[in-house]
Amino acid sequence: MSTARSLNKVILIGNLTRNPVIRSTSNGAVVCTFGIATNATWKDSSGNLQERTEFHNVVAWNKLAEICAQILSTGMLVYIEGELRTRTWDDANGVRHYRTEVKIDDMKLLDDKGKKGVGVDAAKEAGENSSDDDEMMTESNNNNKSSSDDKSDEVVEESSKSDEGDDLF
C-alpha cells in the first residue's frame, strides 16, 4: 500500500510588471512583493497566432527579499522557483479577502538590464527554511485579521488596479 504524496512547486520565467516593494513585519522579518507576467502563444484551429498573458503575485522573505528589492525593476526577465501560498484576511468592513501568491525560495536574473550573473539560491545563501516563513505568514495573517485599524505592521498592501487591468496587490 502506497502513501499518497503531494507537491507544491512553481517555476516561472517572466517579466516584472511592477517594481519590488519591501516592508518589515512586526517581528522584524523582511518581505518583498512584486509581480511578474508570463506569456503563452499558440496557433488556433484556423492557424491564427494567439497569446495569453498571466499575472503572478510574488513574495520573497528575509535575505532573498532584500536582494530582490536591490536588483529587480519593472521589465526585467527573471526565473523564480517556489510554492503557491494563499493568504486570507478580513478588511475593516469584515469582508474576507484571498490572495494566492508565489512564495519564492530561488530567483535568478535572466536579463542584461540588471547586474549580470546575479542569482540567488536562498537555501544556500541565507540558510532559511520554510518553517520560518510559515511562522511569518501566520503572524502576517493574524495581524491582518485582528488589527484592521493598525496598518503599520501589515504585510498586505491595499488593493489597487494595475496597468495590466488585473487586481494585483
The CATH code of the domain that includes 35 is 2.40.50.140
Does the residue 59 lie in any domain?
yes
Does the residue 100 lie in any domain?
yes
* Least confident residue range of 23-37, 51-65, 83-97, 100-114: 100-114
121-135 mean pLDDT: 47
Tell me what pLDDT residue 63 has: 96
- 3-state SS class at 48: coil
DSSP 166: S
Burial 119-150 (b: 16+ CB within 10 A, else e): ebebeeebebeeeebeebbebbeebbeeeeee
In the block, cell 530582490 appears at 68
Tell me what pLDDT residue 4 has: 78
Residue 106's contacts (CB-CB under 8 Å, 6 or more residues apart) are: 79, 80, 81, 82, 120, 121, 122, 123
- Of the two residues 125 and 43, the one the predictor is more confident about is 43
Does the residue 126 lie in any domain?
yes
**Cα–Cα–Cα angle for 69, 78, 105, rounded to 5 degrees:** 65
In the predicted model, is pLDDT for residue 14 greater than 80? yes
Tell me what pLDDT residue 56 has: 98
- Of the two residues 111 and 55, the one the predictor is more confident about is 55
Tell me what pLDDT residue 113 has: 61
In the predicted model, is pLDDT for residue 140 greater than 70? no
Among residues 98, 87, 100, which one has the least CA distance to residue 58? 100
The number of domains in the chain is: 1
Task: Report the alpha-carbon distance of residue 101 to residue 114 in Å, rounded.
Answer: 24
User: What's the domain range around 41?
Assistant: 10-146
Give the confidence band of 13 by pLDDT, cuts at 50, 70, 90: very high
* Residue 96: all three cell numbers together: 474576507
In the predicted model, is pLDDT for residue 10 greater than 50? yes
